Amino acid sequence: MAKPTPLSGFPEFLPAQRYVEQEVTATLARTFELHGFANIETRAVEPLDQLLRKGDTSKEVYVLRRLQEESAGKDKGIGLHFDLTVPFARYVLENAGKLEFPFRRYQIQKVWRGERPQEGRFREFTQADIDIVGRDDLPFHHDVEIARVMLEALSRLADPDSIGLPGFRLQVNNRKLIQGFYAGLGVDAAGIDEVMRLVDKLDKLDPAKVHTLLLDEAGITAEQADKALALATIRTTDDSFVDRVRDLGVSHDLLDEGLDELATLVRACAPLATATARIVADLSIARGLDYYTGTVFETRLDGYESLGSICSGGRYDALASDGRTTYPGVGISLGVSRVLVPLVQRGLLTADRSVPSVVLVAVTNEDSRAEADVVATALRARDIPCEVAPTAAKFGKQIRHAERRGIPYVWFRQDDGTNEVKDIRSGNQVAADPATWQPPSQDLRPQVVSVTTEATTEATTEGESQ
């Protein structure tokens, strides 16, 4: 059989890299649970009419078909989910009578998209979502809570004593603010969505090009386009954006509401901001999906802005409805694979060992393997991960085997029945009892190793207070 070639868009990790991913998802789960979010997992497939019910045909959906059938048959209308929001909306509708509202859930799960693979974009990847959903009504303070929870989670991921990811910039805006601003400029209702769509391209296109598109495609005046772009240049780390918007001389009731909500959110998040997890009011953010109705989020990874937004979401007041009851919600989604794969592939994140084992129990000869198993069993009974040497080779070879696997300790059972354990990093060897010996706490589990570079440690704060 020929050596298989990697399948583009479907990343796989080596054991030490996979441990980093596990630590990231565990850190996220712990943070979400501290705030009372319950974990769910939805099925991998959804009916196509559910997946595309918002008219979002930009996603290339993987459709299921039974291979033994000549035609798709009954499965022709089933596809793999491309995000976790659509299946969650369906889950809420199906289980509304069994859920307590407001319902708080987190979900860390695989999704699939048939898009062209490139850095940060994959065909199979892991997302981590949190949402709060109400029945008919959901107070704005839940928007604030979602932002605070994700900011705390990002802070933990960027903590050098934890995972040590590069810093994050959580960018926030409010669609009421921008819709109200455009309405105050005199843009008609039909044109507001088009202006938002075009301004949202500023992270990819030159402002002069966006200005031209506003004139040609949105049909607004040059003065209106100038004001729209002026709004989009405002970025602050505090609520000073309010005065800067007011200085543009536009007024509208919806604008007032959006300004108040965004200022409230930024002020509430300020105490949680750190040097590596910052919050920025960025009035260029609009989000392309039409179901967002208020707060919107996007997040950039310091030093890797080319990846685009790695964590996004917002407020949706009518995503889920059964015709009688509407379930408004607010949520945010972190692209776990989008963040980790580029860092892992560059060798900037790994673990200090590829196995969970703390101890390798040496084997003097094959006749003594049962005695080594007794030692290993005693250690495991006290939650110390260990393994028994695969062969009764010379001790030097057994030690080198432990070194290659990153196992820090080798255990030796002496001929007289006593035991010794060696820290092969320092060479220190001491007497030990498998019923009482305990390694240092930092050795009990593999540790994430973050290799910092100038690109990943330098905070990209340029433009945040422009």
- Say how far apart CA 334 and CA 212 lie, in whole Å: 33
In terms of Cα–Cα distance, which of 40, 116, 123, 117 is closest to 85? 40
pLDDT digits (tens, 9 = 90+) for 358-377: 999 999 999 999 999 999 99
At residue 462, does pLDDT exceed 90?
no
User: Are β-strands 45-47 and 78-80 bridged in parallel, bridged antiparallel, or unpaired?
Assistant: antiparallel
Predicted local confidence at residue 457, as pLDDT:
43
pLDDT mean over 431-460: 79
Q: Which residues contact 400 (CB under 8 A, 6 or more apart)?
A: none
pLDDT digits (tens, 9 = 90+) for 162-178: 899 999 999 999 999 99
List domains and CATH numbers for the chain.
Answer: 15-350 (3.30.930.10), 359-444 (3.40.50.800)
List strand residue ranges (DSSP E) for 66-139, in order.
78-80, 103-112, 124-133
pLDDT mean over 272-299: 90
97 confidence band (pLDDT: 50, 70, 90):
very high
In terms of Cα–Cα distance, which of 267, 297, 282, 302 is closest to 454? 302
Residue with tokens 């393994």: 387
Least confident of 70-79, 239-248, 265-274, 347-356: 70-79
Predicted local confidence at residue 466, as pLDDT:
43
Q: Read out DSSP for 196-234?
A: HHHHGGGGTS-HHHHHHHHHHTS---HHHHHHHHHHHT-
Average pLDDT, rounded, for the chain: 91
pLDDT mean over 2-14: 90
- Say how far apart CA 287 and CA 292 lie, in whole Å: 8
- Say how far apart CA 404 and CA 393 lie, in whole Å: 15
CA 450 to chain centre: 18
At residue 414, does pLDDT exceed 90?
no
At residue 74, does pLDDT exceed 80?
no
At residue 5, does pLDDT exceed 90?
no
- Say how far apart CA 124 and CA 81 lie, in whole Å: 10
pLDDT digits (tens, 9 = 90+) for 322-335: 889 999 999 999 99
Tell me what percent of the residues of the chain surpass a pLDDT of 90. 76
458 confidence band (pLDDT: 50, 70, 90):
very low
SS3 state at 239: coil
In terms of Cα–Cα distance, which of 18, 153, 13 is closest to 446? 18
Contact 140, 260 (CB under 8 A): no
In terms of Cα–Cα distance, which of 329, 384, 404 is closest to 131? 329
Beta-carbon neighbour count of residue 234 at 10 Å? 19
453 confidence band (pLDDT: 50, 70, 90):
very low
The continuous run of DSSP H or E covering 87 comes out as: helix 85-95
51 confidence band (pLDDT: 50, 70, 90):
confident
- Say how far apart CA 439 and CA 442 lie, in whole Å: 8
Tell me what percent of the residues of the chain surpass a pLDDT of 70. 92
pTM score over 0.95: no
